[in-house]
Structure 1
Amino acid sequence: MLVPEIAQGAAPELEPVRAASLAAIGRLCVAKPSAVLVLGAGPETRRYAASSFGDFGRFGAVDVRVGFGRHNCAGASQMPLPLLVGAWLLGESTRQAETPSGRDTLRLGTVVAVDSPPGECAALGRRLVDDPESRVGLLVMGDGSARRTDKAPGHHDGRAAGFDEGVAAALAAADTDALSRLDPGLAAELMAAGRAPWQVLAGAAEGRAWRSELLYADAPYGVGYFVASWAA
């Protein structure tokens, strides 16, 4: 829904979350990481190389092609949706910037299995940032509950708002302990696709002090969306 060609008539209503997302990515690029890693959830844990690319054809926008910027014939022909959206946001941020930052920064992707237990997520997060000589910036893609209202994709669940409020508070405070405690079973029942990626983030960020800001938290169309920025 963040990509206007997919959102179509809903694009104006989603402009606040889109603008907040681009603002957060602008901060990420200004920090000049040695690499940007786009992280999302999918059927299985898998890495995607800098040559990975794809399009939004299965969502009705076949002409919208995105990638991590280093295309070659060996690249994967299709990335999962979280990585597609992350790549689109990175490209849009570069396009809109008056003085583009991070245009030449290495961009990679990782998908964590949506049903990975918290311990495995934390361990993956630690591995992603275990090189002391490398400054990796994480772009973590993940929705909150898709059961916030009666018109939501999963219909209304009274627990959804409280779950999302807890996530928003944890992201606002860079509270890695709170993210680590998110219950996988409850998250699955509430259709919260961001649970596993947030717990990978918690593992990657544990033990450090962060300056954090929650830039957006709302539930357009009954799905919880959050945008936060963490900086060391």
Structure 2
Amino acid sequence: MIVGAAVCPGAPFLIPDVAEPLARESAALVTACLAAVRRLAGADRIVLIAAGRRSIVYPAGQVASQVAAPPVGRSDLVARGCRPVLAVGTIVGQALLARAFPDGVPVPVDVVETGGEAEADDAAARHGAQERDAVLVIADGAATHGDHAPGRRDDRAGPFDDALAAALAGGDPTALGRACADRDVAGALLAVVEPLRVLARLTQGDPPTATDLLFRGSPYGVGYVVASWHWAGR
């Protein structure tokens, strides 16, 4: 069962030594991310969920530079002598965990990269489920806020991100799933919300007992939301 969840953006400047000026300008965002991630410490396992090209699981201990065994669903990797190329969101999530727990993450961390197929993504997220799981979800809102956004300005960005933020602030899995259900709109807005769809399905019918919206903004034309969900008594 899930005991906690943290939602953080996949902004590359959250990785140490990458775009440090942007990181300094976004100190409030960085602080919010680290606070949300630290709240996952009491679980038996952390599942890092990020958007990828296909549904895949990297069990605890497998990182880009050292793969001891093939990830679930990719048994051909070691046979071909290949190493997996992790998604940007996965790298950002790992960096946040390392920054939040400088002495080492206190529990195993499994990585799940989503591929956009609900059944496969949900099975990947539940793979190796523990008694008390926590999830770290890396996702972005619309990247079309204003003329200097990565994507072309789109006035749908505001309402789209409003719905995401409201669902996360209210701890409402149904509203969260509804807010990011339209893949065509999400794609047009360059929003990275597949991991949020997984969170919504994992918690459907089991909403958190406490929520905290730690950050909401679009400082570089991209919608960033940081949220923390908690299930008391577990």
| Structure-1-length-normalised TM-score | 0.80
SS of the aligned residue for 1:28 comes to coil
SS of the aligned residue for 2:43 comes to coil
CA gap of 1:47–1:73, structure 2 versus 1, over 3 A, is: closer
1:11 aligns with 2:8: no
Instruction: Quote the residue 2:7 is aligned against.
Output: none
8 Å contact 2:217–2:223 — kept in the other structure?
Answer: yes
Higher relative contact order (CA 8 A, sep 6+): 2
Instruction: Quote the residue 1:105 is aligned against.
Output: 107
Q: Higher helix proportion, which one?
A: 1
Q: Which amino acid aligns with 1:190?
A: L
Q: Which amino acid aligns with 1:3?
A: I
SS of the aligned residue for 2:47 comes to strand
Instruction: Quote the residue 2:166 is aligned against.
Output: 169
Q: Deviations over 1:199-221 (max 9, x none)?
A: 10011111113111110000011
Deviation (angstroms), 1:45: 1.2
Q: Which amino acid aligns with 2:191?
A: A
8 Å contact 2:62–2:68 — kept in the other structure?
Answer: no
Deviation (angstroms), 1:44: 1.2
Q: Deviations over 1:57-80 (max 9, x none)?
A: xxxxxxxxxxxxxx5544745421
Instruction: Quote the residue 1:33 is aligned against.
Output: 43
What RMSD over aligned residues (CA atoms) do the two structures have, in Å?
2.2
Instruction: Quote the residue 1:205 is aligned against.
Output: 203
Q: Which amino acid aligns with 2:111?
A: G
CA gap of 1:124–1:44, structure 2 versus 1, over 3 A, is: closer
CA gap of 1:179–1:204, structure 2 versus 1, over 3 A, is: same
List gaps (5 residues or longer) in structure 2: 1-12, 71-82
Separation of aligned partners in 2, 1:15 and 1:126: 36
Separation of aligned partners in 1, 2:62 and 2:26: 27
**How many corresponding residue pairs?**
204
8 Å contact 2:49–2:125 — kept in the other structure?
Answer: no
Instruction: Quote the residue 1:137 is aligned against.
Output: 134
Deviation (angstroms), 1:51: 2.6
Moved more, 135-144 or 172-181: 172-181
CA gap of 1:127–1:78, structure 2 versus 1, over 3 A, is: closer
Identical columns (%): 33
Q: Which amino acid aligns with 2:207?
A: A
1:44 aligns with 2:54: yes
Instruction: Quote the residue 1:58 is aligned against.
Output: none
CA gap of 1:82–1:201, structure 2 versus 1, over 3 A, is: same
Separation of aligned partners in 1, 2:16 and 2:128: 37
List gaps (5 residues or longer) in structure 1: 56-70
Separation of aligned partners in 1, 2:128 and 2:86: 26
CA gap of 1:150–1:4, structure 2 versus 1, over 3 A, is: farther
Q: Which amino acid aligns with 1:85?
A: V
Separation of aligned partners in 2, 1:72 and 1:128: 20
